[in-house]
């Protein structure tokens, strides 16, 4: 799998191919200016909300709700300091978010690597049915899944616990991890393991020492995407978590009250939630296409 | 997501095969798959059965959970509820609007990006950013941007003459939540379409342009037909996600004003977790699940239909 950004530069651009007559050339210049303008507009549309959130988080309370939006202001860290020192401290929310997201990502990736390898190499008849089960479970509407989970977790005493939240996140991360790891293992020729076995490796050794190291990128991508999915969840957490397990997105929505919203602190939480996931996501961007299309499209 | 599919695979893993070696191999794969499959069974098949049972029951939560048989009561109530059908119509409108805009815009941006020779990587990264933001945060930031007294976008709208409360007016609220979804998920379509565009064989395009095909005809007759499958993958993935995510609407309008944005999952949450009418909510859940399974079926058929991944 080659990076999309690199491969697509081989895509020939029209103006390079044929020398065009003068009239067409100036027409193309206009088209080019139009394209640059459109590109600029797209980037502005994409980036402004994020930048505005980031700026909001370092504005004083007067600046953040100024009637005329302020681009220039004296930056302050008061919102972040307030979040971690006030009456409703953000630290427990942050800890819950990290434990729930990392916990489900690690369990999903480990079980996904094992199951995905088996799914990729097995030749059993029910493989298609099994694949369909994984995909439909991954894609099952959260609203439909959360109802029975709420009932089951209430019976099992898992409401408002972090293990409960991790299990809820596994309901979508586990099928995702198995499925996508199997797609990554599909990209590694089984002949390598075959020759390792001829050389005396056991099945397990062929998997552990040959196949697994070759799919390190796949493992990292799977773990990162699972982390992002779980970290960004709101719909499960709003039903299953309570005071002992609430996560950051819940903390953010709790700032919206009848009496008003502290937008400075809210944009600060937003920044804390969004920034790490952007960094993680950009780090694995080469494999994002495979990951997010469940392996249906590779970056080649 | 059904029990028959799980059990169908089990006898095969334990079935003795003629060749000892291949039998061992299958059990090895079976052993690797077992932990994941068992855990997933608990997290997918048990809930499915529970959901079906719930849909035929009155669910009592106070004083210990009790399910009381209610027959088809929940089903008849749901199927004859004009409010629910109105929500479905609204959901359909929301899907068509978000998916339509995202597909067209995403493909257009991808085509534009594919022409960029230098700096395509950094540009792509900038365009991808919204995808990683938590939808709940996107909704909250959307509220901040559209606040009638200090919102940045509200301020722009006021400059051009629209001075109403954006999220307070049924039509503009619907447009606003649609655009927030478009903002967050168009990048996914860009990403997938760009991967498709870069897989088009350059020599075909070269040949066509030597034959004098202009840009538009090249797009229409050569590029688009060769990435149809990939666009279909993008559409199916997005539609399944569209059924999944509703956080943006929950935190912005929560279905209002006057039910103008109350799509089906919001109605399910309202029935289930505000009125604690869990049996009725289960019916809505099953309706949504059927929709997802139909889309997933198409997706898998697309993947396996050609004997290989497109």
Share of chain A above pLDDT 70, in %: 91
Q: Considering only A32-46, A191-205, A227-241, B205-219, which range has the smallest mean pLDDT?
A: B205-219
Residues A212 and A86 in one domain: yes
Query: Using 50, 70 and 90 to split pLDDT, how confident is the model at A225?
Result: very high
Answer yes or no: is A4 within a domain.
Answer: no
Which residue in A53, A139, A270 is closest to B292 by CB distance? Answer: A139
Q: Flag if B199 and A300 touch (Cβ within 8 Å).
A: yes
Q: Flag if B28 and A13 touch (Cβ within 8 Å).
A: no
Lookup: tokens for B88: 């479905």
pLDDT for res A176: 93
B144: nearest CA partner in chain A: A263
DSSP string, B181-242: HHHHHHHHHHHHHHHHHHHS-HHHHHHHHHTT--HHHHIIIIIHHHTHHHHHHHHHHHHHHH
CATH number of domain containing A250: 1.10.3720.10
Residues A65 and A118 in one domain: no
pLDDT for res B13: 41
Which residue in B29, B50, B61 is closest to A148 by CB distance? Answer: B50
Best to test chain A binding among B23, B137, B232 (most A CBs inside 10 Å): B137
For residue B14, pLDDT over 80 is answered with: no
Q: At what angle do helices B228-244 and B170-199 cross, to 10 degrees?
A: 140
In tens, the pLDDT along B245-297 reads 899 999 999 888 888 999 999 999 999 999 999 999 999 999 999 998 898 88
- Mark which of A35, A62, A79 sits at the end of a domain: A79
Residues A63 and A73 in one domain: yes
A261: nearest CA partner in chain B: B144
Lookup: tokens for A241: 């978590």
Lookup: tokens for B162: 């629209």
CA distance to partner chain A, nearest, from residue B58 (Å) = 13
CB B79 within 8 A of CB B93: no
What domain range includes position A61?
22-79
Check if B26 contacts A (Cβ < 8 Å). yes
Q: Give the C-alpha separation, B288 to B87, whole Å.
A: 12
Residues A176 and A117 in one domain: yes
Query: Using 50, 70 and 90 to split pLDDT, how confident is the model at A9?
Result: very low
| Segment A16-44 mean pLDDT | 76
Which residue in B33, B138, B244 is closest to A139 by CB distance? Answer: B244
Residues A140 and A209 in one domain: yes
Q: Flag if A133 and B5 touch (Cβ within 8 Å).
A: yes
CA distances from B184 to A1, A28, B141 (A): 26, 32, 12
Q: Flag if A203 and B285 touch (Cβ within 8 Å).
A: no
Q: At what angle do helices A78-85 and A263-283 cross, to 10 degrees?
A: 100
Q: Return the residue matching tokens 């944009």.
A: A267
Chain A residues close to B215, C-beta within 8 Å: 14
3-state secondary structure of A162: helix
DSSP state of A20: P
- Mark which of A79, A97, A121 sits at the end of a domain: A79
For residue B26, pLDDT over 90 is answered with: no
Q: At what angle do helices A162-186 and B20-40 cross, to 10 degrees?
A: 140
- Sign of the dihedral defined by the CA atoms of residues B286, B289, B294, B297, in that order: negative
Chain B residues close to A5, C-beta within 8 Å: 120-121, 124
B273: nearest CA partner in chain A: A239
Q: Considering only A113-127, B46-60, B79-93, which range has the smallest mean pLDDT?
A: A113-127
Chain B residues close to A234, C-beta within 8 Å: 134-136, 247, 250-251
Check if A54 contacts B (Cβ < 8 Å). no
| Segment A226-244 mean pLDDT | 93
Q: Is the pTM here over 0.90, yes or no?
A: no
Residues A64 and A152 in one domain: no
Residues A35 and A88 in one domain: no
Lookup: tokens for B42: 């608990």
Lookup: tokens for A3: 């990076």
Answer yes or no: is A39 within a domain.
Answer: yes
Q: State chain B's mean pLDDT as an integer.
A: 84
CA distance to partner chain B, nearest, from residue A214 (Å) = 18
B211: nearest CA partner in chain A: A18
Share of chain A above pLDDT 90, in %: 46
CB pairs under 8 A between A and B: 366
Contacts of A65 by beta carbon, 8 Å cutoff, 6+ apart: A263, B149, B150
Residues A141 and A155 in one domain: yes
Check if A7 contacts B (Cβ < 8 Å). yes
Residues A57 and A95 in one domain: no
Q: Give the C-alpha separation, B290 to B131, whole Å.
A: 27
Q: Which of B191, B116, B192 is nearest to A9 (CA)?
A: B116
Q: Give the C-alpha separation, A56 to A76, whole Å.
A: 10
Q: Give the C-alpha separation, A25 to A28, whole Å.
A: 5
- Mark which of A31, A64, A79 sits at the end of a domain: A79
For residue A298, pLDDT over 80 is answered with: no
pLDDT for res B63: 78
Lookup: tokens for A220: 């990292």
Chain B residues close to A137, C-beta within 8 Å: 1, 40, 43-44
| Segment A165-184 mean pLDDT | 93
Q: Give the C-alpha separation, B3 to B49, whole Å.
A: 9
DSSP string, A278-299: HHHHHHTGGGHHHHHTTTSS--
Query: Using 50, 70 and 90 to split pLDDT, how confident is the model at A63?
Result: confident
> Which one is predicted more confidently, A220 or B206?
A220
Q: Give the C-alpha separation, A121 to A131, whole Å.
A: 13
For residue A139, pLDDT over 90 is answered with: no
Residues A51 and A119 in one domain: no
Best to test chain B binding among A173, A202, A272, A293 (most B CBs inside 10 Å): A293
CA distance to partner chain A, nearest, from residue B38 (Å) = 11
A46: nearest CA partner in chain B: B127
> Which one is predicted more confidently, B74 or B301?
B74
Share of chain B above pLDDT 90, in %: 44
Q: State chain A's mean pLDDT as an integer.
A: 86
In DSSP terms, A256 is beta-bridged to A261
Q: What is the CATH number of domain B73-308?
A: 1.10.3720.10
Check if B154 contacts A (Cβ < 8 Å). no
Answer yes or no: is A232 within a domain.
Answer: yes
Check if A181 contacts B (Cβ < 8 Å). no
pLDDT for res B146: 92
| Segment A92-110 mean pLDDT | 95
Q: What angle do CA B269, B273, B274 make, to 5 degrees?
A: 100
Residues A131 and A175 in one domain: yes
Chain A residues close to B195, C-beta within 8 Å: 4, 8, 289, 297-299
DSSP state of A51: H
Residue burial B193-222, b: 16+ Cβ < 10 Å; e: rest: bbbbbbbbeeeebeebbeeebeeeebeeeb
Answer yes or no: is A2 within a domain.
Answer: no
Check if A275 contacts B (Cβ < 8 Å). no
Best to test chain A binding among B48, B136, B292 (most A CBs inside 10 Å): B136
For residue A31, pLDDT over 60 is answered with: yes
A20: nearest CA partner in chain B: B212
pLDDT for res B6: 36
| Segment A224-234 mean pLDDT | 94
Chain B residues close to A143, C-beta within 8 Å: 246, 264-265, 268-269, 284-285, 288
Chain B residues close to A39, C-beta within 8 Å: 112, 116, 123
DSSP state of A159: T
Neighbours of B232 (CB within 10 A): 15
Q: Flag if B129 and A267 touch (Cβ within 8 Å).
A: no
pLDDT for res B5: 36
Q: Give the C-alpha separation, A140 to B302, whole Å.
A: 19
CB A152 within 8 A of CB B47: yes
Which B-chain residues 171-190 have CB contacts (< 8 A) with chain A? 183, 187-188
Lookup: tokens for A217: 């990128």
CA distance to partner chain B, nearest, from residue A209 (Å) = 16
Which B-chain residues 188-207 have CB contacts (< 8 A) with chain A? 188, 191-192, 194-200, 202, 205-206
Answer yes or no: is A202 within a domain.
Answer: yes
In tens, the pLDDT along B99-138 reads 999 999 999 999 888 888 788 888 889 999 999 999 999 9
Chain B residues close to A14, C-beta within 8 Å: 115, 209, 215, 218
| Segment A145-173 mean pLDDT | 93
Lookup: tokens for B100: 């339509």
Q: Flag if B140 and A266 touch (Cβ within 8 Å).
A: yes
How many domains, in total, are found in chain A? 2
Chain A residues close to B146, C-beta within 8 Å: none
Q: Considering only A24-33, A65-74, A145-154, A255-264, which range has the smallest mean pLDDT?
A: A24-33
Q: Which of B97, B114, B128 is nearest to B227 (CA)?
A: B114
pLDDT for res A20: 54
For residue B51, pLDDT over 90 is answered with: yes
Residue burial B120-157, b: 16+ Cβ < 10 Å; e: rest: bbebbebbbbbbbbbbbbbbbbbbbbbbeebbbbbbeb
For residue B96, pLDDT over 80 is answered with: yes
In tens, the pLDDT along B172-184 reads 999 999 999 999 9
Residues A125 and A149 in one domain: yes
Q: Give the C-alpha separation, B195 to A289, whole Å.
A: 7
Lookup: tokens for A254: 């709790």
């Amino acid at each position: 799998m080659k990076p999309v950004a690199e491969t697509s530069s081989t895509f020939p651009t029209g103006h390079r191919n044929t020398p065009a007559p003068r009239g067409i050339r100036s027409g193309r210049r206009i088209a080019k200016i139009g394209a640059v303008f459109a590109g600029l507009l797209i980037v502005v549309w994409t980036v402004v909300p994020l930048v505005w959130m980031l700026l909001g988080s370092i504005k004083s309370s007067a600046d953040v709700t100024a009637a005329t939006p302020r681009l220039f202001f004296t930056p302050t860290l008061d919102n972040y300091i307030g979040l971690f020192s006030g009456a409703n401290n953000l630290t427990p929310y942050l800890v819950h978010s990290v434990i729930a997201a990392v916990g489900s990502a690690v369990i999903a990736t480990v079980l996904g690597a094992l199951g995905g390898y088996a799914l990729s190499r097995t030749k059993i008849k029910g493989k298609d049915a099994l694949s369909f089960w994984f995909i439909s479970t991954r894609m099952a509407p959260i609203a439909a899944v959360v109802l029975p989970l709420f009932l089951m977790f209430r019976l099992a005493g898992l409401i408002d616990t972090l293990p409960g939240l991790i299990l809820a996140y596994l309901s979508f991360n586990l099928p995702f991890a198995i499925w996508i790891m199997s797609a990554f293992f599909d990209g590694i020729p089984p002949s390598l393991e075959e020759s390792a076995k001829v050389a005396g490796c056991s099945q397990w050794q062929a998997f552990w020492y040959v196949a697994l190291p070759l799919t390190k990128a796949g493992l990292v991508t799977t773990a990162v995407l699972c982390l992002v999915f779980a970290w960004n969840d709101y719909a499960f957490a709003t039903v299953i978590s309570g005071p002992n397990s609430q996560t950051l997105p819940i903390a953010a929505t709790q700032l919206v009250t009848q009496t008003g919203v502290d937008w400075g602190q809210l944009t600060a939480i937003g920044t804390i939630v969004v920034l790490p996931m952007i960094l993680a996501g950009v780090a694995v961007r080469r494999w994002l296409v495979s990951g997010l299309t469940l392996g249906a499209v590779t970056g080649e | 997501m059904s029990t028959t599919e799980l059990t169908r695979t089990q006898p095969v893993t334990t079935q003795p095969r003629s060749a000892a070696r291949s039998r061992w191999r299958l059990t090895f794969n079976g052993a690797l798959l077992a932990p994941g499959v068992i855990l997933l069974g608990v997290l997918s098949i048990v809930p499915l059965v529970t959901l079906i049972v719930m849909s035929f029951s009155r669910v009592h939560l106070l004083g210990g959970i009790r399910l009381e048989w209610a027959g088809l009561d929940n089903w008849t109530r749901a199927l004859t509820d004009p409010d629910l059908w109105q929500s479905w119509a609204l959901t359909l409108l929301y899907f068509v609007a978000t998916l339509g805009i995202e597909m067209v815009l995403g493909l257009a941006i991808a085509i534009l990006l594919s022409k960029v020779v230098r700096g395509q990587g950094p540009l792509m990264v900038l365009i991808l950013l919204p995808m990683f933001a938590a939808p709940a945060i996107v909704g909250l930031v959307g509220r901040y941007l559209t606040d009638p007294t200090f919102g940045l976008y509200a301020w722009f709208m006021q400059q051009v003459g629209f001075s109403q409360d954006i999220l307070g007016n049924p039509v503009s609220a619907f447009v606003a939540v649609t655009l927030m979804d478009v903002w967050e998920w168009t990048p996914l379509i860009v990403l997938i379409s760009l991967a498709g565009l870069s897989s088009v064989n350059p020599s075909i395009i070269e040949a066509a342009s030597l034959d004098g095909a202009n840009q538009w005809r090249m797009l229409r007759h050569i590029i688009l037909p060769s990435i149809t499958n990939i666009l279909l993958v993008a559409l199916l993935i997005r539609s399944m996600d569209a059924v999944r995510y509703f956080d943006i609407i929950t935190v912005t309008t929560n279905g209002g004003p006057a039910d103008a944005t109350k799509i089906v999952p919001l109605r399910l949450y309202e029935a289930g977790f505000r009125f604690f009418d869990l049996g009725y909510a289960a019916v809505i859940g099953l309706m949504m699940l059927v929709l997802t399974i139909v889309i997933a079926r198409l997706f898998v058929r697309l993947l396996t239909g050609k004997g290989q991944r497109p």
